Structure 1
């Protein structure tokens, strides 16, 4: 996705909002008649069995950085995800069966890089499942493949090799004390009926009779239609799973299955849904959880992804339940989606029954919201979840109880999702309800999720995050201390598999080794598929990165990467510089871009390194100067300003083994940008402007044509942590993220200086002499909304997208 698919406000709308903010214009909603809904929660009602609410780790690399978080914050995040009565309390965890290939934002490690060599400790999904199970022993696990190692079926996914591979993966799960309740085929690819039938036979034959088969994990319900006329396929499939049945990147107001799907009598799932920002996606998730059952009789909702624990230069970097992209600082943000989910999970359990007669739309209209009721199998407990995401006025609900369900005092919990620009809410307990003449009355405000329940034990966790910080230089890692199969700290693999292994070339201990030796069966369609792994802080600019490398095969080449900025969607390209050395001695200094177009900046030949010997590669960046060194000798110096800063990486030019050791990153000469500037947007050419020259707290920030005013001049002052305050020359007020909100799209404002993180900004080189301006409080960039070139367009905060609307030229004043 790009900014064009995520920004919803037109420029005229932004201007209206600006005027309203400044002059207090009333929101002109038409008068709405009061709505009243009567609900009888009847334990004798028909209804399907509830399977749970879950989320996905995989598809891919979205959980990678969580593995390297400090123990205290790591445990807090895991509690928010899995601990009952604390946060999201997830009931299903679906993980990727690794295939060493990019599957959205990274490559998940395979257990079998080469045929016959199985490592049941490869990757971090086992660790995640173990942590989830330790917190909630009742959690259900599901597995699904996005890609596969290239040796499988000689490149054919739907093969006996793949069935054998999945059986081996289930065996690894068993070694880790994990039982896989659900297993799928190939994510979002056309199904193969015979293969599903053979997989089901293999599960039965290998003793996995309790593992249910999910098909087809694609868009739509075509597999259900096929099952209606194919008895063998129908017998093999236990769960019919569809992706995004509520619409992809939509408000999820309607969630449909199909007549054929319902007619199969099989369990129906929204087996992948979401792809929404952890903050602003919460209302859509609240709708989908309820409406998936109301509209389509789907008994599970599975959110993609579980957590946004990936680097900010990757697509979907803010999607999930929690954002956790700084393992070195331990900083994280619990998103509203966590509480949107908790309103169901903390009050139900898989195996409960939906109560169809107490499920529907408030007042009979989607616009008022929806409600879904659940009861325990013994009818000893029940809960009703109500959402009013689209309501524009308060409404009342009258509840009564029948069919052997308990009455007495009812408990009420709610989450306010109505104001995404404010600080993130948590689920809160309201006043208990008591019956009058057998009826309970509850008033529902707009934009909220409510749960009325007989259950107890709920809560909202109170752990808080430390402050964000930069990853300090110098940084070094010998790779010598890792156990076999481990990934190196802070490294996130995009293609291939970079894992610790015994060193070659006479060097003792462990090195990092690229393990995948055959081009994988891919899920993404990128044009350049060479293996590489990334790490580091996007604000790094002037530095030297070096690593020892060893080539194992003839015809191979090793790379180090520097100033890595944005990777486009599904690994469609990478903005980076590469120093490449082949076994013949040929070397090249390359630049890649967002569409995998390669430019050779320099090249030549050194003495052939051959195989099995160690050599050192180094890249130095200082301003627009780039110097390449091999074994300490300078082989080339070029001038290029395409990328002003970014991460480092290690890579190969193909799928073969290469070893790495003694990584070192040392800082260059630091540049202090303190001074007074005009901030010019790289896309529009307009200036950062305090609206109308106002100086009051809360003045909106916009872009405007140059007018020479002091409201378009800003003083930058750097603190000891390397962050800047940006102070308006006219107002003396500072650039501020209102309420320290983590909601993307929130307009920036002026505010009196208080020294908080939401008034501190990381100003880092971007491209061709421009800079990005990143909020310390959440890592979002200051940008012009929607990449608008119109005068008066709002300047808001948004996740990193590499666009010119997030790049600013600093023009010195005086």
Structure 2
């Protein structure tokens, strides 16, 4: 080991910097993790042809994935926004696609429409306008893109491909103009095919209404639209680019990207207009491949990650996907993911309008397993950047570069990220500067890394960090009086329908929350009744109460212990619900993600009627659930299916009910004791996690970054169980009692293999086996499976409760 390297290590220089040290003329010799292979020569030729780069960015939409960000306190809210949008700081997004709300669930919740009815228009609803404004304030050059997932049911009498929908998009552009926003791109219907004549009608309407500069992207589904672009000149004239979703495979490694000849020959820019759907850390390797390989394999010139941020509660679908995790506005806690730094390796070193250099892009040594590289040159025809990924390489590789064709012969700045590392100090590091000699220089690249070589400057890495996570404390209340009409109440997340602040009806002053959608929407996912959720998934024993007014015959609901959702198959929700109708009929319901709704109790009280205020309450104390209407207890049941979860409001389809004076007060421990919480490994700092939020019996639990997800919330019961999702237990598989028995989830049976003892020394032992809950192989990485093992006092057998 050289004296220089020993010195750098004593100074705690990050490993990514050590790995990125280069050999250049008069430069520094660095060490490698493994012996370098034979050098590969790469020519960076500024005269090479190549397509125009359109940008990399992300998507706010497909539900409420950005919903909670607006509720963050400062300075944390501004810090997250800086990491997403500020040039030379974090992800530095070059494009933001925003959902055009339709009052219907579109994966992770619903976004409000600017026109709930034909005669209704409010350009200040929701948070997408705010988010686009914040993005533009930080980066005036960011491109904005609008796309609808669903729409209010009045449009075309339920027909999306209608003149009503064209006019709806034009009115949305008018709202954007009111907010000082210029929309660059507009799509049709997310992942629901296309209608050729409708796109042509949309183009004509945009032109005639002063939006001729807005470019249409088709069809945000698959590549089949290219066939009609090629065969229909009028359609081709209407469409500016072809955008498809997951062209490198859905939630795949993105090792290979496929584009048919019809698309390549269309003459249109080709975009990966939605990609990702991966964890904000776990998706980094796939993204690193996909951004590069999308161009190499298919000449795609834009890459949009879904979504931009995970700012939603963890019981909703895809709770950790995005560039960052920001799911706790009450604590201000947030985490910046590795996806941010992978994106930065392209976004901070390029701009839309740059050109790819085809002759200077490809696979290292012609072998995909070695990694890939793409080169782009600036509009000044001198500056350039080359992005190199070695996700699948098995050893160090030396690359010899020759710079020609008018590209700058100046200093080359090297930035690197060890994508395999969990240490933030190894992410987005300015590793070295190289002075080329005779038009050439060399770089030794390490496996599992991402590098950018650039002649540009101005890049940087933000230093702000968020506070620790914390539960939303009880009691919690909201009178709703402080909100502007049309806005969403703090922390209240729409799942279906639209719950907004309005002037109260029924002779009451002040503001209330009203369900605004008066008809069945044009859905993207499975239709459910309108409902919205609020609170912490760890809330266990509490009383939720609220005033309620029905505006028309129908019913309203008060939710409690609301947990996971099945967003596409059934639309089902794990929850208890108190349902009351205008006739006075009431019921206590138990619903689940299978779409099953069981009636636990029912009865009739005095008719509630319409336009009259009433009070509702649900109390949870262990397994006892008590319902109260207008101060009188109407029913009490014993059920232990759901141990913890959020509160919420619901209505029947089209019922525009109002709610006021929300209150959530803590209760006693009851039979099951306490609230849910995480189990954190002392040795790993990671949580006991049900992989992929699976509900499948027999799923082996594992370690994963703590994210507050419902699949990481474990409730200790008086019976000695550790419950997740309310009804599944931590389980010694097959009633095994020997070392190596896998630990999984299974429906609670009361069996001895589902009983656990938590000891003061941090160990958790199975009552049946006497063995310790153990991270296999003393592993600490994400995905390390858990098992039973002979207790040995090691840190991989020590746990804390969060």
TM-score by length of 1: 0.82
Match of 1:582 in 2: 581
Partners of 2:559 and 2:626 in 1: how far apart? 13
Partners of 2:661 and 2:386 in 1: how far apart? 58
Q: Deviations over 1:209-233 (max 9, x none)?
A: 11100001103x1000121111111
Partners of 1:286 and 1:743 in 2: how far apart? 26
Matches within 5 A, 1:494-509: 494-509=495-510
Say if 1:641 and 1:768, in contact at 8 Å, map to a contact too. no
Match of 1:535 in 2: 534
Partners of 1:786 and 1:61 in 2: how far apart? 37
Report the CA distance shift for 1:803/1:153 in structure 2 as closer, same or farther (over 3 A): farther
SS at match of 2:231: coil
Report the CA distance shift for 1:548/1:254 in structure 2 as closer, same or farther (over 3 A): same
Match of 1:569 in 2: 567
Q: Deviations over 1:724-757 (max 9, x none)?
A: 897xxxxxxx9426256999979659xxxxxxx9
Say if 2:494 and 2:532, in contact at 8 Å, map to a contact too. yes
Say if 1:244 and 1:270, in contact at 8 Å, map to a contact too. yes
Paired residue total: 705
Match of 1:189 in 2: 192
Match of 1:659 in 2: 658
SS at match of 1:215: strand
Match of 2:221 in 1: 218
Matches within 5 A, 1:302-701: 302-419=304-421, 425-526=426-527, 529-553=528-552, 555-570=553-568, 572-670=571-669
Partners of 1:126 and 1:744 in 2: how far apart? 36
Match of 2:267 in 1: 265
Match of 1:199 among 199, 202, 211: 202
Matches within 5 A, 1:242-281: 242-281=244-283
Report the CA distance shift for 1:601/1:86 in structure 2 as closer, same or farther (over 3 A): same
CA RMSD of aligned residues (A): 2.9
Partners of 1:740 and 1:34 in 2: how far apart? 36
Matches within 5 A, 1:763-802: 763-764=714-715, 770-772=721-723, 792=740
Say if 1:163 and 1:199, in contact at 8 Å, map to a contact too. yes
Report the CA distance shift for 1:362/1:304 in structure 2 as closer, same or farther (over 3 A): same
Say if 2:681 and 2:687, in contact at 8 Å, map to a contact too. no
Q: Deviations over 1:736-784 (max 9, x none)?
A: 26256999979659xxxxxxx9xxx97536999844589xxxxxx9978
Say if 1:423 and 1:742, in contact at 8 Å, map to a contact too. no
Q: Deviations over 1:196-250 (max 9, x none)?
A: 110111111111111100001103x100012111111111111100100000011
Post-superposition shift, 1:569? 3.4
Post-superposition shift, 1:41? 1.5
Partners of 2:663 and 2:318 in 1: how far apart? 29
Match of 2:107 among 95, 101, 104: 104
SS at match of 2:626: strand
Partners of 1:802 and 1:63 in 2: how far apart? 33
Post-superposition shift, 1:257? 1.1
Say if 2:388 and 2:452, in contact at 8 Å, map to a contact too. yes
Post-superposition shift, 1:381? 1.4
SS at match of 1:511: strand
Match of 1:681 in 2: none
Partners of 1:766 and 1:142 in 2: how far apart? 49
Partners of 1:465 and 1:192 in 2: how far apart? 46
Post-superposition shift, 1:400? 1.8
Say if 1:352 and 1:376, in contact at 8 Å, map to a contact too. yes
Say if 2:689 and 2:703, in contact at 8 Å, map to a contact too. no
Partners of 1:769 and 1:101 in 2: how far apart? 41
SS at match of 1:602: strand
Say if 2:540 and 2:561, in contact at 8 Å, map to a contact too. yes
Match of 2:797 in 1: none
Structure 1: unaligned runs, 5 residues or longer: 1-30, 675-717, 727-733, 750-756, 775-780
Say if 2:623 and 2:672, in contact at 8 Å, map to a contact too. no
Q: Deviations over 1:624-644 (max 9, x none)?
A: 111110000000111111111
Match of 2:298 in 1: 296
Match of 2:163 in 1: 160
Partners of 2:514 and 2:525 in 1: how far apart? 23
Post-superposition shift, 1:437? 3.0
Partners of 1:124 and 1:634 in 2: how far apart? 39
Post-superposition shift, 1:791? 6.5
Say if 1:546 and 1:665, in contact at 8 Å, map to a contact too. yes
Partners of 2:160 and 2:111 in 1: how far apart? 16
SS at match of 1:289: helix
Post-superposition shift, 1:256? 1.5
Report the CA distance shift for 1:564/1:741 in structure 2 as closer, same or farther (over 3 A): closer
Match of 2:12 in 1: none
Post-superposition shift, 1:525? 2.5
Report the CA distance shift for 1:235/1:735 in structure 2 as closer, same or farther (over 3 A): closer
Match of 1:52 in 2: 55
Post-superposition shift, 1:485? 0.7
Partners of 1:66 and 1:766 in 2: how far apart? 34
Mean CA deviation greater in 104-113 or 663-672: 663-672
Say if 2:623 and 2:670, in contact at 8 Å, map to a contact too. no
Match of 2:153 in 1: 150
SS at match of 1:78: helix
Post-superposition shift, 1:277? 0.8
SS at match of 2:664: strand
Say if 2:539 and 2:676, in contact at 8 Å, map to a contact too. no
Say if 1:484 and 1:499, in contact at 8 Å, map to a contact too. yes
Match of 2:83 in 1: 80
Partners of 2:333 and 2:470 in 1: how far apart? 8
Q: Deviations over 1:358-412 (max 9, x none)?
A: 1000110100000000111121311000000000000011112212111121100
Matches within 5 A, 1:133-148: 133-148=136-151
Match of 1:738 in 2: 684
Partners of 1:374 and 1:403 in 2: how far apart? 13
Say if 1:533 and 1:649, in contact at 8 Å, map to a contact too. yes
Say if 1:748 and 1:795, in contact at 8 Å, map to a contact too. no
Partners of 1:429 and 1:741 in 2: how far apart? 32
Say if 2:671 and 2:718, in contact at 8 Å, map to a contact too. no
Match of 2:785 in 1: none
Match of 1:698 in 2: none
TM-score by length of 2: 0.83
Partners of 1:791 and 1:408 in 2: how far apart? 61
Match of 2:18 in 1: none
SS at match of 1:228: helix
Partners of 1:579 and 1:725 in 2: how far apart? 28
Post-superposition shift, 1:33? 7.8
